[in-house]
Amino acid sequence: MITKYKPNLSRTSEEKKDKPASGRSYVGLRAAKESKTTVQSANARKDAHLAPKNREAKFEQGKLRVIVLGGLEEVGRNMTLIEYDKEIIIIDMGLQFPEEDMPGIDYIIPNAAYLEDKKDWIKGVVITHGHMDHIGGVPHIIGNIGNPPIFTGKLTAGLVRKRCEEFKRCPKLNVKEIDENSILQLGRNFRVEFLRLNHSIPDTFAVIIHTPIGTVIHTGDFKIDYSPVNDKPADLNRIAQIGGKGILLLMSDSTDSGKPGYQVSESSIGDEIDKIFEKLEGRIIIGTFASQLSRVQKIFDLAEKYNRKIYLQGRSMNDNVEIAHQIGYLKFNPSILINDHDLNRLPDKKVIILGTGAQAESNAFLMRVVNGDHRTISLKPGDTVIFSSSVIPGNERSIQNLKDMIVRQGARIIHYEMMDVHAGGHAKQEDLKLMMRLLKPEFFMPIEANHYMLQAHAELAAQVGISENKIFVADNGQVVELSKSGQTVVGKLTDERVPTDYVMVDGLGVGDVSNIVLRDRRVMSEDGMIVAIATIDSKTGDPIGNPDIISRGFVYMKENKDLIEKTRMKVKKIVKDHDSRTPADDDYIKNKIRNEIGQFLFSQTKRRPMVLPVIIKV
């Protein structure tokens, strides 16, 4: 897949004449090894952008490589590399929550093995916004790649610092705060600007990367919201101006690319919740994402309007509200928050309980309430539980069970399918097409979604006029190359791939749970396990007494005495069946027990439990 692109040749000369707009800051890293941020004058900016003549030929021969380490085959684990001439910038460093067939796994992070011998190439990390699927991998990865500087918005900086406090191995971060007026010079080859966009959390930015062969834009997560809550709407005029200067490659959020129409504005959700609050007399219990700070702000506003107090639940909810309030992104009177004592003292019509758990997470606030494990809250008739979030794919059954338990305990449920109590944070089809029409990229690459969503976004790109052979639907780790050939740019989706296999986090272990371990966990969760303990004479190898059998998750031993006894005698026969003149070989006996007992149990039950043989020599 090779195409030619003729860049806007006048753009370079125009940019040389440009000076920063009033109020814009210019931040540079002067050399490859510098990590300190400095403020430069307009002349310094001009000098940084001008390439000496003896470097032009090198640039023409150089290749811009785009590599996505996570986010092209899943929603989450977002991490993108932009590489040119032995310099790399990283966009996002997120986590992915485990799938149903990953028992015991806390979450998954990107595999950064490609970067570990290129630490001196990395000029900076840009974080688009503060959601865990974009910041969750930072404490695990940043130290392994040389602890490069991190550039991000004010709120995201606070959330990243807070997350890294929980990990002793995370080095002291070098975080630099940016806004929509910041300009960075990272290394020799990357000049980076930012475009404020709307999402379900403030301080969300698209990343504009000026490279020697053209401009690349990475949107991060975004939606078009003309009336956001506690945030500025995206500047569509500036987006169009950027597009008018010529965009080489657009990498755009695909999470809602399969949904027609326009995304609902956050302010309209607030109006809908307002109508609900007006009618309710009992306690209002709201489950949402802790990162939905625009939604949280609206709930605080409505609590003040209806003279209710808020009882916050969930560590992440408390942390996010505290950080956002400290930096001025959440505006409320602290007296509106109450503690355990106030909750029991106030009448129900004066209380809002706001917490996490709308996805039925086992350790979250809502699940603990319905299971009777919460220290202060239990459901009762008159309570209204509002699910102010959409269902993450894969959680449908768990959420349905949670709703059943809530209703059985006498509470009423309101969710987004009944009323507009949730607005997604991602652009739908018409918003995505608007972004492409404004930016008019030559090449297009859908990102941040499962493959079928990427394909749906690619079809939208074709509808707005982008040539199908200039649309790259890649897999994780697949390298996209863009290079100059004379006065044109050649783009292709290569066959080269870098490692992107799962790095699973389980407790304090990072990457120590392999696919083999997961397979064993799945076997135990599906068919259980059986332990065969045989005691043998160390000299003769003869069995001493009868073997012990332990069953866990396979059969209930008291109700299957005949099967257990047959298994016991078969193990004894296997141990006894050897040449008594030579000591028994432990590994040989264990393998024989494992194979023959496994086959025997399958013939009896049509199940394949994990067989664990234990040999004790005396």
Active-site residue list: 253, 426
Which amino acid, 168?
Answer: K
Residue given tokens 């990390």 in the structure block:
125
Helix H or strand E segment including 344: helix 340-345
Whether 473 and 43 have beta carbons less than 8 Å apart is answered as no
- In this structure, what token pair is assigned to residue 518? 């997961």
Neighbours of 153 (CB within 10 A): 25
Helix H or strand E segment including 614: strand 610-617
Query: CA 524, CA 15: separation in Å to the nearest integer?
Result: 62
Query: CA 596, CA 591: separation in Å to the nearest integer?
Result: 8
Query: CA 21, CA 264: separation in Å to the nearest integer?
Result: 33
Residue given tokens 């990229």 in the structure block:
441
Whether 180 and 66 have beta carbons less than 8 Å apart is answered as no
Whether 158 and 176 have beta carbons less than 8 Å apart is answered as no
Residues 6+ apart with CB under 8 A from 465: none
Residues 6+ apart with CB under 8 A from 449: 71, 72, 74, 75, 253, 254, 255, 257, 457
> Residue 44, SS3?
helix
> Residue 232, SS3?
coil
> Residue 478, SS3?
strand
Whether 84 and 65 have beta carbons less than 8 Å apart is answered as yes
Cα distances (angstroms) measured from residue 422 to each of 287, 405, 415, 430: 11, 22, 8, 19
Residues 6+ apart with CB under 8 A from 208: 192, 193, 194, 195, 215, 216, 217, 242
- In this structure, what token pair is assigned to residue 401? 């069970």
Residues paired with residue 7 on neighbouring β-strands, in sequence order: none
Closest CA to 37 of 130, 143, 148, 118: 148
Cα distances (angstroms) measured from residue 78 to each of 92, 100, 105, 142: 6, 20, 18, 14
Query: CA 424, CA 522: separation in Å to the nearest integer?
Result: 33
Whether 568 and 547 have beta carbons less than 8 Å apart is answered as yes
**Phi and psi, residue 460, nearest 5°:** -65, -40
Query: CA 18, CA 457: separation in Å to the nearest integer?
Result: 34
- The radius of gyration computed from the CA coordinates of the chain, to the nearest angstrom, equals 29
